[in-house]
Structure 1
């Protein structure tokens, strides 16, 4: 774990998968809005450290914390560390997830189980902790995908995990009645992250970009802006919704 400074901020956010393409943009956006941010990572400590450093250089406050997103003990430690450092938690954003693609008839069950563990169990574990610990005025933002509405071949297993995320998100919003905590999901469309672009030809990328009326791919900052809206004061009247941030692709 690394830290920037010891000062507590008025609002505090946890971003799971905060070292990834979208996660890092979300962490920076929330920090720019004045929040102290716990940047969670499960793989690359170096990438997480770079995100923390960039927040610090911009005058913000951040820590990096590792852990398996589907492990309740590790995630409890993440929440404990954040509360001990900053005094509470106001925003939790679940960007952590994996995408493994294959036609349903050919999908290896081990691959499906891996994806289910991270995308569904991981979201459940973190959402459960958020439901127990978010302060009044808080926000939980989970991550779905626009693929749930596109019915694209090879995406069945991935879309199924994200359909589960949407279901738990919308129900949890109703279960937190009276808590003054909002629960929403963001469903990105095709977004120009290294993971998305890897292995795709320029021609394929161009075809995917052309599917949107905006005729471009989304950027991590586009998605981060949607999250920042839901996590900030302007999003307090948005609750129990799935926000499709996809440029009109679906």
Structure 2
């Protein structure tokens, strides 16, 4: 159950959940390609690819900071090639980068629509496409996409249809590629949080400090991702995982340690299916 010596390519790893997953792998002694856009400090957001790389090295891993816009095909190709050249191969891809704009049809500018679909859907497809040839050569290759179960209850669509479709496109690609590359032994899974996670997006875009206090820390997603990424890739694939279900099944019962406010009320995240909902299970 270790990622020691494994090489991970993580999009959006300069902060938040992506960085938490990177740091968890780094504690095992993994190599991390930090593929993100933020190369210079932004007063609105914490962290850059360089500060993330420093934190990864301090945690015990090896880091390669890469300034990458996952909408740029040539840029992605170059970043993946640099990762393979630096670390000698590629074992794991984490599709974490994502854009969000929570608004209805009339309040969604096409610029925002395009951004979400170019980063979430197209970006996930593009980065996966460029990594797969290298993953085919790995001993236990995994692709993990941070996207939700495919729950087709209209309540998830009616208030922000463009965002929902952009996130679901990430899940559909993971589900489809699990079947497409099953014979190659590459695992494709999706992971989603049951509650809101204390990230800059939650604070700046969704609910400020009040919602942050009702959230769990990114560590719960990192620990759940670690468990998934250490499973046999030929048997653990085509799944939609919820973070706390993963940890409970793996024997971790104290989930309160992940709460920003231990013992406090937690805020549910979008897209978590209710019992009996029209969910595409996705087992391959």
201 and 147 in structure 1: CA distance in 2 versus 1, 3 angstrom threshold: farther
Structure 1 match to 2:145: 142
- Alpha-carbon separation, structure 2, partners of 1:84 and 1:229: 27
Q: Which residue of 1 aligns with 2:45?
A: none
Give me the CA root mean square deviation.
Answer: 2.4
Residues 57 and 116 of structure 1: is their aligned pair in 2 closer, same or farther, counting only changes over 3 Å? same
For the 8 Å contact 1:229–1:235, the answer to whether it is kept is no
> TM-score, length-normalised on structure 2?
0.75
Q: 1:101 is matched with which residue?
A: 102
More off after superposition, 113-122 vs 148-157: 148-157
- Distance in 1, Cα, partners of 2:19 & 2:5: 21
2:259 corresponds in structure 1 to: none
Please tell me whether residue 173 in structure 1 is matched to residue 178 in structure 2. Answer: yes
1:78 correspondence with 2:79: yes
Q: Per the alignment, in what secondary structure is the counterpart of residue 98 of structure 1?
A: coil
Q: Secondary structure at the match of 2:215?
A: coil
Deviation, structure 1 residue 235: 6.8
Structure 2: gaps (5+ residues): 42-47, 246-265, 273-284
Determine the structure 2 residue equivalent to 1:220: 218
Within a 5 Å distance, the mapping from 1:89-238 to structure 2 comes to 89-134=90-135, 135-145=138-148, 151=156, 154-188=159-193, 189-198=195-204, 200-203=207-210, 205=211, 216-233=214-231, 237-238=235-236
Write out aligned runs for 1:7-46 (5 A). Answer: 10-46=5-41
Residues 182 and 44 of structure 1: is their aligned pair in 2 closer, same or farther, counting only changes over 3 Å? same
How many residues are matched?
Answer: 233
Are the counterparts in 2 of residues 147 and 155 from structure 1 also a CA contact under 8 Å? no
What's 1:5 paired with? none
SS in 2 for 1:69: coil
Give the drift of 1:162. 1.1
Deviation at 1:192, TM superposition (A): 0.8
When structure 1 is superposed on structure 2, of 67-76 and 44-53 the one drifting more is 44-53
Alpha-carbon distance between aligned partners in 1 of 2:125 and 2:102, rounded to the nearest angstrom:
22
Aligned to 2:44: none
Preserved contact between residue 120 and residue 164 of structure 1 (Cα < 8 Å): yes
How far apart are the structure 1 equivalents of 2:36 and 2:24? 17
Q: Tell me what 1:57 maps to.
A: 58
Q: Using the alignment, how far apart are the partners of 1:202 and 1:13 within structure 2?
A: 32
Deviation at 1:152, TM superposition (A): 6.8
CA contact (8 A) 1:22 1:223 kept: yes
- Would the aligned equivalents of 1:38 and 1:82 in 2 still touch at CA under 8 Å? yes
| Per-residue Cα deviation, 1:69-94 (whole angstroms, up to 9, x for no partner) | 12111111111001000000000101
Return the alpha-carbon distance in structure 1 between the equivalents of residues 34 and 50 of structure 2: 9
The offset of 1:24, in angstroms, is: 0.8
SS at match of 1:75: helix
